[in-house]
Amino acid sequence: MWCHRLSHLQSSLQNLLRRGVTCWAFQQPNFKSLFPLAIHWHHTASESLGCAWQQHEDHFELQYANTVMRFDYVWLRDHCRSASCYNSKTHQRSLDTASVDLCIKPKTVHLDETTLCLTWPDGHVTKYDLDWLVRNSYEGQKQKVIQPRIFWNAEIYQRAQVPSVDFQSFLETNEGLKNFLQNFLLYGIAFVENVPPTQEHTEKLAERISLIRETIYGRMWYFTSDFSRGDTAYTKLALDRHTDTTYFQEPCGIQVFHCLKHEGTGGRTLLVDGFYAAEQVLQKAPEQFELLTKVPLKHEYIENFGECHNHMIGVGPVLNIYPWNKELYLIRYNNYDRAVINTVPYDVVHRWYAAHRTLTVELRRPENEFWVKLKPGRVLFIDNWRVLHGRESFTGYRQLCGCYLTRDDVLNTARLLGLQA
């Protein structure tokens, strides 16, 4: 993050220098003194605050709070928060963006310590709070980490001694719920203890944080090794680490597991932080990481079992990153359900297999494996966009219940409790 910020600032600086603005003192790494005042800038009355602006042919440049921001003029007009352009009760835009002249420029500019005031050719006035501009500008966004997360291997997770939340406090207090969600957002897994071992109580838990995502497996599902569905999950066999529902266009966000009964041996659950492994790939072989973000793959679920007839296809790369800041947000990894690869030519396929191997090696390092035995009363929530799960083979009667949750609604709950999500 640090290096990224630095290089970004350096390139802003270079751009400015290229345009002939002089008199910069560059005292790396003291960011406060990175952008002292330049000769051709318009300043506010109080120069010590260091805010200044410059109007260019195709953009408006603003320096404030140690940030040099560059704004497109249409963007500035489009984001006007005046009562006629924006409804602050509904937080919706009233302005018809298509009515804005694409060559628009402000007629006059006024800047003081807190506010930028633009008057447009038709007389309309837009006032921006400078802090709002920092928070919402591209340059301001680039400086902040979107989602705080702790990537883990077994040792990191165990050392963190992440506390489980009690059923009662999860259901009845905002504090319990918030603690739970905070852990879940940081690590991608979280446990609730002392849950009565029934499907109804598990459902209550799920509904406290989200909407249940109904799928071809039902709303709440309940499964044993009876092979009632056409999938290995419904057997006693071991399952290697994977994420679920890779064959959906949008894989399920969260998976909830509650083991209601197990009379037998084996059956431990394996958890692996996919983002930790991907991060290792990025460090060791960046070009392979990139390939895993680029090659689109199909995953498929074909079922013709009794009454169940399904054919699901999901397309997307193994690693999904936001194009604007390269932050990883979803890993799609299921070697069982991966379909025929026919989206890229043979030479790319070969490089893709090598990259997939590198990732698999990281995912399979014993030190990255966290094993738990699920027990009645202990409910596990897994971020299915980040953490892979698997299971050991088992003997005897084993009953699991659970459900999938919609990710947007879990994050919604977290934000309403004041968490960054």
Ligand X SMILES: C[N+](C)(C)CCCC[C@H](N)C(=O)O
Ligand Y SMILES: O=C(O)CCC(=O)C(=O)O
CB of 333 to ligand X, least distance (A): 10
CB-based contacts of 243, cutoff 8 Å, min separation 6: 251, 274, 331, 332, 333, 334, 384, 385, 388, 389
Instruction: Closer to ligand X by CB, 145 or 237: give it.
Output: 237
User: Is residue 385 exposed (0-12), middle (13-18) or buried (19+ Cβ within 10 Å)?
Assistant: buried
Choose the contact partner of 269 out of ligand Y, ligand X, Fe ion, none; CB within 5 to 8 A by kind.
ligand Y
Which residues does residue 269 pair with via DSSP β-bridges, in sequence order?
Answer: 372, 391
User: Is residue 298 exposed (0-12), middle (13-18) or buried (19+ Cβ within 10 Å)?
Assistant: middle
Residues 242-281 that bind ligand Y (CB under 6 A): 244, 269
* Residue 288, φ and ψ in degrees, nearest 5: -75, -40
The number of CA neighbours under 13 Å toward the Cβ of 259 is: 19
Selected binder of ligand X within 217, 276, 333, 352 (CB under 6 A): 217
Work out whether 391 is an interface residue with ligand Y (CB under 6 A): yes
* Residue 324, φ and ψ in degrees, nearest 5: -85, -25
Work out whether 233 is an interface residue with ligand X (CB under 6 A): yes
Residue nearest ligand Y by beta-carbon distance: 391
Choose the contact partner of 391 out of ligand X, ligand Y, Fe ion, none; CB within 5 to 8 A by kind.
ligand Y
Selected binder of ligand X within 137, 225, 245, 384 (CB under 6 A): 245
Selected binder of ligand X within 231, 300, 327, 392 (CB under 6 A): 231
Q: Do you find a cis peptide bond into 296, omega within 30 degrees of 0?
A: no
CB of 56 to Fe ion, least distance (A): 54
Other residues' Cβ atoms within 10 Å of the Cβ of residue 215: 16
Instruction: Closer to ligand Y by CB, 80 or 400: give it.
Output: 400
Q: Across 178-245, where does the E strand assignment appear? A: 189-193, 212-213, 220-223, 239-242
Instruction: Closer to ligand Y by CB, 270 or 359: give it.
Output: 270
Instruction: Closer to ligand Y by CB, 105 or 236: give it.
Output: 236
Alpha carbon 59 to its chain centroid, in Å, reads: 31
Residues 312-371 that bind ligand X (CB under 6 A): 334, 336-337
Selected binder of ligand Y within 51, 318, 400, 421 (CB under 6 A): 400
3-class SS at 128? strand
Selected binder of Fe ion within 16, 188, 225, 244 (CB under 5 A): 244
Report d(CA 220, CA 235) in Å as an integer.
Answer: 19
Work out whether 337 is an interface residue with ligand Y (CB under 6 A): no
Work out whether 239 is an interface residue with ligand Y (CB under 6 A): yes
Residues that bind ligand X (CB under 6 A): 217, 221, 223, 231, 233, 242, 244-245, 334, 336-337
Residues that bind ligand Y (CB under 6 A): 233, 239, 244, 269, 389, 391, 400
